[in-house]
Amino acid sequence: MTINHYILENQQQLDFVFTAWNCSDAPELHNAQQIDAGLGNVVARDNVNIAYSLIGEHWQTLSMIRFKHVSVGPAGLWGCDTTNRVYKFVAGNFQRSSGVSLQQVDAGGNDHVVGVQPNNQNAYCLRGCNALTYSGKGSLSWSSLAKKMRYYSCGTKFGCWGVDRSYRVYVAKKVNPENCDTSSWTQVTGLYMKMVEVGTDGSVFGVTKDGKIFQRDGITNQQQEGTHWVPVPMSMTVRHVSYDLGTLWAVTNSGLVMKCTG
């Protein structure tokens, strides 16, 4: 179906911009819960925590390890299991790393990996050189970012974005993937989100607590926080989104995977 979405400015005045999103059912993955896309790859997990990769029009099981979150991007394919152990996909198998425990992980940055700890929800970063070269042997040294987040995501442009424990959205404008130095945190006002995802190209999408999708517009090198949130209407409420190469992937609260192009 074709959806017209509009710009919401100052949450009161509506200016309509006609941008078509063509949405359709993606290849079926029964009871999908989470999805991530990067560099042309798409991975997801279902309600029994099995991870899959989309190959053509079919979902292929990646492992029988029970994952709560999987992510794919420039740093490779990473995941954290239901006991918060961190894995990297190496030569056809997931290799468990020792070190920090994470409940959410993101591999979309400039070769570096970021994630969020369970319980205290501290945000962490793994340097790009360590992420790329890790082959399943030895422990990994993660850097604490001294920021508490419920969800954290990076792209290769325009910094990293996160949602704190109060559902407030932040962008870290200065990120060094070589040493994980992260600074210039700026709150992005206007909406409260339960998750926010950054595409490899720097595009930012979020999902509100009531399951609505918004895109952050106006993001530039000079204004990395952007200017306003643009709603992306969907006929169903959504639990998770990801964006890559012009395609928006959404998982509905009923477990369907939707694929939208604009």
pTM above 0.85, yes or no: yes
Please give the pLDDT value at position 4: 39
Closest among 87, 1, 83 to 259, alpha carbons compared: 1
Q: What is the pLDDT of residues 23-48, one digit of tens each?
A: 999 999 999 999 999 999 999 999 99
For residues 103 and 84, what is the distance between their CA atoms, to the nearest angstrom? 5
Instruction: Count the Cβ atoms, other than its own, within 10 Å of residue 143.
Output: 18
Which range (8-12, 90-94, 207-211) has the least confidence? 8-12
Rounded CA-CA distance 260/77 in Å is 23
pLDDT for 17 equals 43
What is the token pair recorded at 20? 């078509």
Residue 213 scores a pLDDT above 50: yes
Helix or strand or coil: residue 130? helix
**Mean per-residue pLDDT, 200-204:** 93
List domains and CATH numbers for the chain.
2-6+21-261 (2.120.10.30)
Q: What is the pLDDT of residue 208?
A: 98
Work out the average pLDDT over 90-118.
Answer: 97
Rounded Cα distance between 86 and 126, Å, is 12
Pairwise CA distance, residues 28 & 49, whole Å: 16
Reading the block at residue 9, the tokens are 């400015």
Kindly give, in sequence order, each residue whose CB lies less than 8 Å from that of residue 223, ignoring residues fewer than 6 positions away.
Answer: none
**pLDDT beyond 50 at 16:** no
Q: What's the Rg (C-alpha) of the chain? A: 17
Residue 137, pLDDT score: 86
Q: What is the mean pLDDT of residues 223-228?
A: 97
What confidence tier does 105 reach under pLDDT thresholds 50, 70, 90? very high
Whether residue 1 has pLDDT greater than 70: no
Residues 6 or more apart whose CB falls under 8 angstroms from that of 126 comprise 75, 112, 113, 114, 115, 140, 141, 142, 143, 180
| pLDDT mean over 83-97 | 97
H helices of the chain, in order, are 128-133
Grade residue 262 by pLDDT with cuts at 50, 70 and 90: confident
Chain mean pLDDT for the chain: 92
Q: What are phi and psi of 226, to 5 degrees?
A: 75, -170
Give the model's confidence band at 19: pLDDT under 50 very low, under 70 low, under 90 confident, else very high: low
pLDDT at residue 224 in the model: 97
237 φ, ψ to 5°?
A: -75, 155
CB-neighbour burial class of residue 228 (10 A; exposed 0-12, middle 13-18, buried 19+): middle
Read off the pLDDT of each residue in 67-79 and give the average, rounded to a whole number.
98
* Spatial separation of the C-alpha atoms in residues 262 and 250, rounded to whole Å: 14
Query: What SS3 state is found at 121?
Result: coil
Categorize the per-residue pLDDT at 11 as very low, low, confident or very high, splitting at 50, 70 and 90: very low
State pLDDT tens for residues 123-155.
999 999 999 999 998 889 999 998 999 999 999
- Integer CA distances (angstroms), 151 to 80, 114, 171, in order: 13, 10, 12
